[in-house]
Amino acid sequence: MNNVSKVKLLKLSVMVALALSATANANVTDKDISNDQMTTDDVVSYGLGLRGQRYSPLTMINDKTVSELRPVWGFSLGGEKQRGQESQPLVKDGVMYITGSYSRVYAIDAMTGDELWQYDARLPDGIMPCCDVINRGVALYDNLVIFATLDSKLVALNKDTGKVVWKKKVEDYKAGYSITAAPIVVKGKVITGVAGGEFGIVGKVRAYDALTGSIVWERPTVEGHMGYVWENGKKIEAGISGGAPGKTWPGDLWKSGGAAPWLGGTYDKDVDLLFFGTGNPAPWNSHLRPGDNYFSSSRLAINPDNGKIVWHFQTTPHDGWDYDGVNELVSFDYKVNGKTIKAAATADRNGFFYVLNRENGDFIRGFPFVDKITWAKGLDDKGRPIFDDANRPGNPASSKDGKKGSTVVSAPSFLGGKNWMPMAYSKDTELFYVPSNEWEMSIWNEPTAYKKGAAYLGAGFTIKAINDDYIGVLRAIDPKTGKEVWRYKNYAPLWGGVLTTAGNLVFMGNPEGYLMAFDAKTGEIKYKFNTGSGVIGSPITWTMGGEQYISVLSGWGGAVPLWGGEVAKRVKNFNQGGMVWTFKLPK
């Protein structure tokens, strides 16, 4: 080979190396996010795909091999800042990105567990998160890691260095706003809800340009408030949410109506709609606000381009139990007489499982997914609850002293038949795997008045277990029939997410500290590993170097020990923690 040929070969080798390097460290695109569920060498969205099905087509770890699963590294979040760890990891190009309690972000070498960088948000005094100082994860886009903070900011970090690229104030934390959800990215926009319904805030969903942080649109989720879009830097009115102000609210209560979309959203490209759930109306005392109180305790379908509410479905009109309606709406398809139904399913805190037409929000079917429901006698043919009027907490104004209404025992408790912890759907078994809880509450109403930044409840409560031997139940549910195919009972409440795979497996953790794997068809436990602290995070799986990995965060906390009443006694000795555990099969 002559020198000219050697030079040409060297140049070609350099070009190939650069191309491979660029590919290995490519930025995250809209296409990557859209295809996330079916690509196995990364996890670039919350829910393992924007639909939120939490399903992986991987089969290396399966019902035959999972018994050999081994931990390969553990990463400590370190320091004194622990509390609940509810994050779902994301993985891109061999780097794992997680959030920790108190609005921290970590980049970790996914092969070794070594820390690459850490970012700690500077949180002010006076933040008011209702339900622990948790964070559920980041979004990835381009070369950015984007997450939200407890003082209601969005922060974009350089994925390689952890340095701040942009930071935006979403809302005023002094008024009770906070953000704990993982944002999602759709069509180059990072989209987030807000928390704070216990403080009389106004719920809203906001979209920002993911690259610059410039606001694109805002949609309040309480009827009567104006939405806005921004064009060329100018704020333009985009119509009132719902009917006229106060149409389904009395007086001025719509001005502090709650309905916070605090869990974040999903997206389905087939119908080009965002799906966000909204929280409780404020205050909890429903006698102060007669009416359906739109759009609280609802699922909203939102146009991702301008924030318009396309349709809504209210699971608990005139909510008087803090049942919310934030739980994820998961898109899935099924066939009836050869026709494909574009459906979406949600397991509500109120104890009912709903299947909706995701194109228009029409009710298809609904059924109880917990054993005990007392607040409603069932659902009508439109999916509206048939209230048991005797089981609504009493009006304090009707009591002798005006200080406390009559107490009722309601099931589920306000922490819900299912709370925030995401369920999973398998296209193989056509079943949903729903982490649920069996508990009830004594609840009563009290007088209250709105004061900015102060708790705005007007209710008291005590939560109790219904059964002595279990509270948590992982259920496999057929959404076409309402049939429960199998169940796993857990002594403590379940509070973490679920993952299902084509390997006929369902992964879930429990507060006792175990990561568990179940046979997806039968519910048989195939694997258990004790992580040392309660698992309330959401597991993921991906491939690297030809091997399949499983990762989950471990760290007990969240709402149960803070709000759990008598139930909190059941978990009071559980140790806090802050770890990421990663597993694979031995070679």
- CB count, 10 Å around CB of 188? 16
Residue 78's contacts (CB-CB under 8 Å, 6 or more residues apart) are: 578
Contact 290, 308 (CB under 8 A): no
Q: Are 143 and 210 in contact (CB under 8 A)?
A: no
> Which member of 63, 268, 322, 324 is catalytic?
322
Identity of the residue numbered 138 = V
Token reading at 88:
């779902």
Q: How far apart are CA 310 and CA 550, in angstroms?
A: 38
Cα 343 to Cα 270: distance, rounded to the nearest angstrom: 11
Q: What's the token pair of residue 507?
A: 């992964």
In eight-state DSSP terms, residue 403 is S
Give yes or no for a contact between 353 and 434, defined as CB atoms under 8 angstroms apart: yes
DSSP letters for 28-68 = B-HHHHHTGGG--S-B-STTSSTT---EE---SS-TTTGGG
Catalytic residue list contains 30: no
Judged on CB neighbours under 10 Å (0-12, 13-18, 19+), 301 is buried
- In sequence order, the 6+-apart residues with CB closer than 8 A to the CB of 351 are 368, 369, 370, 372, 373, 411, 412, 416, 417
Catalytic residue IDs: 322
